[in-house]
Structure 1
Amino acid sequence: MSGAKVIAGHAVRRLRRQNGLSQAAMAEMLDISPSYLNLVERNQRPVSAALLVRLVETFDFDPRALTSDAPGGGAAAMRRRLADPLFADLEIDRAELEEWLAAAPGGAEAFARAFDRLAGAGGGGTEAPAIPDPTVSVRREIERWRNHFPDLDAAAEGLADELRMGAGDLYATLAERLRVRHALTIRILPIDILPELLTRLDLHARQLQLSEMLDGPARVFALATQLAQLEARAEIEALARGAAFGDRLAERLFRRYLHRYFAAALVMPYARFLRACEATGYDLEILARRFGVSHEQLAHRLTTLGRVGARGLPFFLMRIDRAGQVSKRYAGSANAVLVEADGRCPLWQVFAAFERMGETIFQLVEMPDGSRFATIARAQERAGRDASGVRARFAIVLGVEAGLAGQVAAARGHPLTEAATPIGPGCRQCSRPACPQRSLPINGRVLTVNERDRPINTLVFAQD
């Protein structure tokens, strides 16, 4: 942990107030100056490794609280909320947001809770759903943990070591564990027996039944997910109770997510997986083959590498359909404004992946705020099909800040210092007035029309 630094003034301030201490008193206990502690609490200085050790020794402090309890889920989650069209005219920049989180973490948390409740209820609009959306609460809880659950990773790593998951046939190893420890056998059934299911647990027959439509990696993952339900129950129940959703559906969705998280951590144990990532330059093809996983399973695992003292690159992930709708979005520890956006930009080449199934499409993009990202898109078909034979297709998008992309194998041969493609968070929220691809007006901006001229851009805005 030497050299590890975390910006987490809110957590230090909360710890001080919980113990009823002034800044001077706490500074004395930590053997630092009050002025330095003041800067830490205002997020103008990081929590260094040395300070973290003193906090742990003095207050029996859980270091995970530094990153798991940021107000509103942290700056990335707050930017996603502020990207709502309701706030388009406010133009809150990154520096202003960070000042707000540092100066008034309680107020920021209150805003986040109110926004999430209104968003989940549809904001009161006449066409909104009548009930809250539980996925909003689940995603916020995942963001609170930065998509890294250390207890699950540790438990999965221990089980992987016990089962010697690094060698031999993973499917056979997991199947044997289920048979010997849990009296469950595996049965592969034809599609006409499981026409609408990929897996089914038949407790009467003591069988885990798998559809023949599942490929090899999916079958391994199904067995690992079942083991998560049986052997990581205590850890997962603790996390589910700690989330305190107050909504049984949200709790079930979160529990299902944690089952899959454990499964990925079992098949791709943290330390061994991180070493492989660094040794191969995060080569997606090599990693998928080495660990016997699908591209989507691998991509998701890359967003979870947030272990203190052993962090991977901060990737974000999105799963997008042809209409631009997002069914998965995980920022992990990434600072990803793309993940927060509700709209999609047609200049982003992610949609080209649907015409080039199985190919990897690399693109360097720049957002209106100047942030630059390297994105890697690849389209795939989901296992299974409906009665009409339709198979769902999605593009899996991995991204990382452009400054870190030089460490990624997919970026080799691509100039990372040259101009990036200017994209935005969808036309309504994009602040680039002169974009030739613009199809809709900018929220909060006034259109102007000159009947004597025909501009390149059909939508022209009045000067502020």
Structure 2
Amino acid sequence: MTSTTSVARAGEDMGLDAVLLGRQLRHLRNESGKTLDQLAEMVDATPSFLSLVENGKREPRLSLLTRLAGIYNTTVDELLTAQPPSKRAALEITVEKMQRSAHYASLGLPTIKISSRTPTEVLEVIAGLQGELRRKMEEQAATPEEARRANVELREEMRACNNHYPEIERKAQDLLDAVGHSGGPLSHHAAADLAEHLGFSVRFVPNLPHSTRSVTDLKNMRIYLSQSRSPDHEPRSVLLQAIGAYVLKHGEPESYSEFLRQRVYTNYFAAALMMPEKETVKFLKAAKERRDLAIEDLRDAYGVSYESAAHRFTNLATVHLGIRCHFQKVHESGIVHKAYENDGVTFPADHTGAIEGQQICRYWTSREVFGVVDRFRAFNQYTDTPAGTYWCTAVVEGHSSGFYSLSIGVPFDEAKWFRGKETTSRSVSRCPERGCCREPSEELEADWGGHAWPAARANAHLLAAMPPGAFPGVDEVEVFEFLAAQQD
């Protein structure tokens, strides 16, 4: 690197912070008792330029920074990576950065010149107000549209990697190896062993905050689960998800997008513990060789829910079996709750690309299954769509919020690997053409047009902002009060 190379080049890999560097240089100069004029003579620079550098408004060239480091008896690396020299300096940096932000400029407020005479209390108030304003803005940003955009972003990420995350797979296998899990279904006892290996004790309580599935006490290394007689979520899975958040080092999410991504990753981690990659792939490959793949077999082999087995299939199908697929979780009302695809199927979407909250064609397998009397076995169907013909298998499972269909689908040519490929059930969907299933027939329109006035069930959550807080929807006061009450 030449002497004319700017410090921006030198520090670009370190995340150069010109304001922090400037404050550090000013602190060192004041400690040395030198004036700007004296220092300028020593480094062959003008006092005005050095002042700009110390105010974070100019980046010094490496040659100048090297001379300054020599005068202050330090190194360039230490100058570039140094922390604020004092609490006061940290406050000055926070306020200075805030005043330079685009958001501050949009407020039309005047800027203040920070000097040694600016009271520390004033800086504390400004920094505090700025932090609270940012927090409020982040809460307000989590609108339904923001949530939908976050879902779109995450689904694109999942499609790009075929819903397979090798690093999470590795961490899950490392944890299983650490406790000597040799294979087969992961029992509740084995799940508790995983928690114990990480230093956690597991406690079931009757008064878990209603807005939570679990609460992890990192201070006392405890994981609290609900001892409800009819929990919506199977305790083993909830425990493994809590363990996943710890192993994956999840902190408080800074946005709804991060919150959503953390949930997906912890669910993935839990599935990788219950259905380890190596043995699950072996199980699926053997079934594929027999041309007898079935999600219910994976469910039964590992003692998990159909939904968990279906999700796990999407994790492994493309990378290990060469099968592209799609997954849907659809409410009995026809509304998409969750979905994933990398096989070209066309889900209904809004203007943001979000599919959650959209209505699935009533002729798709995920809707047709609700009309099937036999819900003990999976329902299989071929569906002709504008994007091609797909074979799908689906079941219906109940939840406190109603019944949901869970379906896995593949392009027609991939159906040969699955049990149920011989089904004679077939339908045709022309969606998104409105005449497919969203408009009444001429006969119905003639009989009832203008003679019906239904009262719509208001989905208030579609109109309201997403719940505020570091963890959306969770009452932190309730959680903290709960933890305080658990102390021995």
Q: TM-score, normalised by structure 2?
A: 0.52
1:171-250 alignment runs, 5 A limit? 171-182=188-199, 184-190=200-206, 193-203=208-218, 206-213=221-228, 218-233=234-249, 248-250=255-257
Q: Distance in 1 between matches of 2:272 and 2:408?
A: 19
Match of 2:395 in 1: 378
- CA 197–328 in structure 1, closer or farther in 2 if over 3 Å, else same: same
- Asked whether the equivalents of residues 348 and 359 of structure 2 are also in contact (C-alpha less than 8 Å), the reply is no
Q: Give the paired residue count.
A: 291
- Asked whether the equivalents of residues 369 and 396 of structure 2 are also in contact (C-alpha less than 8 Å), the reply is yes
**CA shift at 1:290, angstroms?**
1.2
Task: Please identify runs of 4+ aligned residues in structure 1 that moved more than 6 A.
Answer: 214-217, 454-458
Match of 1:439 in 2: 439
Q: Distance in 2 between matches of 1:181 and 1:271?
A: 23
Equivalent position amino acid for 2:269 in 1: F
Q: Distance in 2 between matches of 1:335 and 1:132?
A: 20
Deviations 1:21-63 (A, max 9, x none): xxxxxxxxxxxxxxxxxxxxxxxxxxxxxxxxxxxxxxxxxxx
SS in 2 for 1:410: coil
Equivalent position amino acid for 1:212 in 2: Q
**CA shift at 1:399, angstroms?**
0.6
SS in 1 for 2:423: coil
- Asked whether the equivalents of residues 215 and 223 of structure 2 are also in contact (C-alpha less than 8 Å), the reply is yes
**CA shift at 1:427, angstroms?**
4.0
Deviations 1:337-357 (A, max 9, x none): 247675422223433434555
- CA 394–212 in structure 1, closer or farther in 2 if over 3 Å, else same: farther
**CA shift at 1:130, angstroms?**
8.3
Match of 2:270 in 1: 263
**CA shift at 1:169, angstroms?**
5.2
1:59-70 alignment runs, 5 A limit? none
Match of 1:73 in 2: none
Q: Distance in 2 between matches of 1:288 and 1:130?
A: 34
- CA 249–131 in structure 1, closer or farther in 2 if over 3 Å, else same: closer
Structure 1: runs of 5 or more not aligned? 1-120, 386-390, 442-453, 459-464
Q: Distance in 2 between matches of 1:266 and 1:224?
A: 8
Structure 2: runs of 5 or more not aligned? 1-140, 350-354, 447-488
Match of 1:297 in 2: 308
**CA shift at 1:217, angstroms?**
8.3
- CA 215–297 in structure 1, closer or farther in 2 if over 3 Å, else same: farther
Equivalent position amino acid for 1:290 in 2: A
SS in 2 for 1:323: coil
Match of 1:351 in 2: 367
Q: Distance in 1 between matches of 2:148 and 2:405?
A: 27
Equivalent position amino acid for 1:268 in 2: M
SS in 2 for 1:305: helix
**CA shift at 1:203, angstroms?**
3.9
Match of 2:402 in 1: 392
SS in 1 for 2:406: strand
- Asked whether the equivalents of residues 186 and 273 of structure 2 are also in contact (C-alpha less than 8 Å), the reply is no
Equivalent position amino acid for 2:187 in 1: L
Q: Distance in 1 between matches of 2:410 and 2:295?
A: 14
Match of 1:424 in 2: 430
Match of 2:423 in 1: 414
SS in 2 for 1:258: helix
**CA shift at 1:316, angstroms?**
1.0
**2:271 is aligned with 1:254:** no
**CA shift at 1:273, angstroms?**
0.7
SS in 2 for 1:378: strand
Deviations 1:128-174 (A, max 9, x none): 95887432322232233231112212332333344315147522112
Percent identity over paired residues: 21
- Asked whether the equivalents of residues 302 and 315 of structure 1 are also in contact (C-alpha less than 8 Å), the reply is no
- Asked whether the equivalents of residues 382 and 392 of structure 2 are also in contact (C-alpha less than 8 Å), the reply is yes
Match of 2:171 in 1: 155
Q: Distance in 1 between matches of 2:156 and 2:377?
A: 32
Q: Distance in 2 between matches of 1:283 and 1:137?
A: 30
Q: Distance in 1 between matches of 2:167 and 2:146?
A: 36
Match of 1:403 in 2: 413
Q: Distance in 2 between matches of 1:141 and 1:276?
A: 27
- Asked whether the equivalents of residues 175 and 194 of structure 2 are also in contact (C-alpha less than 8 Å), the reply is no
- Asked whether the equivalents of residues 318 and 328 of structure 1 are also in contact (C-alpha less than 8 Å), the reply is yes
SS in 1 for 2:334: coil
Match of 2:12 in 1: none
Q: 2:385 aligns with which of 349, 357, 367?
A: 367
Equivalent position amino acid for 1:175 in 2: A
- Asked whether the equivalents of residues 328 and 366 of structure 2 are also in contact (C-alpha less than 8 Å), the reply is no
